[in-house]
Chains A and B, each alone.
Chain A
């Protein structure tokens, strides 16, 4: 309000306004120039890779940004666009992408296209062709990529690398009868070859576009030999034939070359498999069982977490909400400490304290007892609830204290005058008012604990493991830690199945969200 008073002086300063707006304009143009330069650079790279969807996405985003910031209109958009871009890409898009992955067989052995799988299969089964001629070889490097500059036995020179098959060149420097250099590439000397030994030994350069022609590899960095696969790829029939055994593997639509007896050649490739992952999740007994028990435990855990922390927090808030009590601040700081301590560390510290053989709880508190706190199915669940109580009660204590203090004193004074007992005051006046303000926090606390990955994973690692389950899952795993384990822990990663589990969680969370929004609305009407 007070800003309106010095209006006259401001008006006299009006002539300076244009210069500031020019400065702002320059900053704006500079910032947009940087954005445009980056996206142009990105467009070049994407264009080279022929990735048209990404190309279109970058074009659209760049155009939107430029239009929004150059035009005088779209004022709200100027403030919303940056956040929304990140939101759309890393929050909205990934949800859709999860749904897509749930309908594929994406995972170990199925993570690329059929072309890549074909090349990988041929590459991994290569053997040196007996008594093939030696090619003169010079290893050259350009922009960090190694290439083979080869002189074939007839004296023709060509160059190729891991991604590009050999193509003839005519501007190479010839020394003796072997090409030793070519413009645009650095020739590696002996010590450089030794330094990059592994990369060079692993390099295979196809002789032509047809993988069946074989590829060049080098054992020593100075001569190359033809390697050919014992798998022969027939592009027209899309089959793979093992030339030693004669077995024909064909693409039967399961995402891998499959022989008649069902034997699969891995790696295969990614295909869309419809509802197979969901059918597995709900149909396969070895997965359905664990999935249901994990879901049940997730709900139990989230509910008990909220209930225990809330009750303890509320109790403490009531106990310490007394002005006559001294030292309340000290207690308060002490009790906030667990909340201030990073949660992932708390779980790890408790995991140490609850260790069966060496932990403090067994060794000192229970005098050397042998209690399997984290390794027994039921005790592990109890331990998790207890540790979560330690982690969570300070939060509930804080918010309950705040809520209690915001209840006007007159209300209870009136009630006391009317003859209400203290318990009645608490039960019928304070509690309902408290719940109105705390209920939304209880729901978000429930939602948080529903996905409280850190606690579970760091304290028990989801264990003890359920050995009968068809997936890597344990007695204390919650849904999100199950997703993580199926997707990222162990040798067989199954992104498709994990995403199907994720979709199940999305649906559950959506239901909780819908119900809770209704519940809180009705609670607010109380007020």
Chain B
């Protein structure tokens, strides 16, 4: 199956952006990663099994693209994530603190935490999207959680 790119953006644009941002920590870079991912989606004309397949493919591509952009020697978009964070409208004050804590995590933990908590992905699904071993993901998730707990203390539960 395939979806028109306009529909793909409506359904997944914000999710792709959030995933890219968790890697780049830069609005413009994340937007670029999303755009390039949609261009790739549009031009490759692949056939997907279902919508979850489309979503997984999009996430894999946008994550790889965001990694490329963030590690580029020529990278020029250097607006700090703190500045972007100040423009966001969080429902609760603790949301702002969670955003800040996640942004302070090492990159390899950020994306794993993001896919687990935001996309509701299992460890196996995260391993598949990131092309890594499940053991690695499990370990990174555990370390990421511990760091979040250390930074957020009582604002971060021990519920998972």
Query: Bound pair: A and B?
Result: no
B-to-A contact residues, CB < 8 Å: none
